[in-house]
Amino acid sequence: MPLSSSPIRLIARSQAPMPGPKGRSAGDRGVHQHPEVELLVFEHGAVTMLYGGRSLEVPPERLALFWGAMPHQALDADPRAVSHVVYLPVPMLMHWQLPAGFMRSLLDFEVLIEAAPGAPAGDLDCVKHWIRMLGRRSVEADRIVLLEVEARLRRMALDRHAASVLAPRAAGAGRLERMVETIARRCLSAPRAEEVAREAGLTRAYAARLFRRETGMTMLEYITRQRISHAQRLLATTNRGVLDIMGECGFKSPTRFYAAFRRYAEGTPAQYRRRFFPAGAAAR
Q: Where are the domains of the chain?
A: 4-164, 170-216, 224-284
Q: Are 4-164 and 224-284 equal in CATH topology? A: no
Q: Rounded to whole angstroms, how far apart are CA atoms 166 and 173?
A: 14
Fold observed for domain 224-284: Arc Repressor Mutant, subunit A (1.10.10)
Predicted pLDDT at 174: 73
- Yes or no: say if 148 and 130 are a contact pair by the CB < 8 Å rule: yes
Which phi and psi angles does 58 have, rounded to 5°? -100, 110
Task: Say how many C-beta atoms besides its own lie within 10 A of residue 242's C-beta.
Answer: 19
Q: Which CATH class name applies to 4-164?
A: mainly beta
Task: Say how many C-beta atoms besides its own lie within 10 A of residue 212's C-beta.
Answer: 15
Q: What is the strand order of the sheet 37-43 is part of?
A: 4-5, 11-15, 82-88, 37-43, 64-67, 112-114, 162-164
| 3-state SS, one letter per residue, for the chain | CCCEECCCCCEEEEECCCCCHHHCCCCCCCCECCCCEEEEEEECCCEEEEECCEEEEECCCCCEEEECCCCEEEEEECCCCEEEEEEECHHHHHHCCCCHHHHHHHHCCCCEEECCCCCCCCHHHHHHHHHHHHCCCCHHHHHHHHHHHHHHHHHHHHHCCEEECCCCCCCCCCHHHHHHHHHHHHHHHCCCHHHHHHHCCCCHHHHHHHHHHHHCCCHHHHHHHHHHHHHHHHHHHCCCCHHHHHHHCCCCCHHHHHHHHHHHHCCCHHHHHHCCCCCCCCCC
pTM of the model: 0.74
**Tens digit of pLDDT per residue, the chain (284 long)?**
445 555 556 788 888 655 444 444 333 446 777 878 999 999 988 888 888 777 888 999 999 999 888 888 888 888 888 999 999 988 788 888 889 888 888 888 889 988 776 555 689 999 999 999 998 878 888 889 999 999 999 988 887 655 555 544 444 457 887 888 788 778 888 788 899 999 888 999 999 998 888 777 888 888 888 889 889 888 888 889 999 999 999 999 999 999 999 998 888 999 988 877 765 555 44
Which phi and psi angles does 222 have, rounded to 5°? -65, -45
- Taking only the tens place, the pLDDT of each residue in 188-202 is 887 888 999 998 889
